[in-house]
Amino acid sequence: MNYISTRGGETAVDFQTAVLTGLARDGGLFLPAEIPDVRPELTAWASLDYSALALEVMRRFADLPADDLRAMIGGSYATFRHPDVTPVVPVNGVHILELFHGPTLAFKDVALQFLGRVFEYYLAQSGRRLNILAATSGDTGSAAIAGVRGRRGIRIFVLYPHGRVSPAQERQMTTVPDNNVFCLAVRGSFDDCQTIVKTIFNDLAFRDRYELGAVNSINWARLLAQIVYYFYGAFRVMAQTGARTVRIVVPTGNFGDIFAGYLAARMGLPISRMILATNENDILARFFNTGVYRRGTVQATLSPSMDIQVASNFERYLYYLVGCDPREVCRLMETFAHSGKLRLDGVTGAGVDPLFAAGTCMTADALATIREFYEQHGYLLDPHSAVGVHVGRQFLSPAEPMLALATAHPAKFSEAICKATGRDIAHHPVLDALANLPQRRTVLPAETEAVRAFLREHIP
- Name residues whose C-beta falls within 8 Å of residue 348's C-beta, 6 or more positions apart in sequence: none
Phi, psi (rounded to 5 degrees) for 375: -70, -35
341 classed as catalytic: no
How far apart are alpha carbons 61 and 34 in whole angstroms?
Answer: 9
Active site amino acids: 108
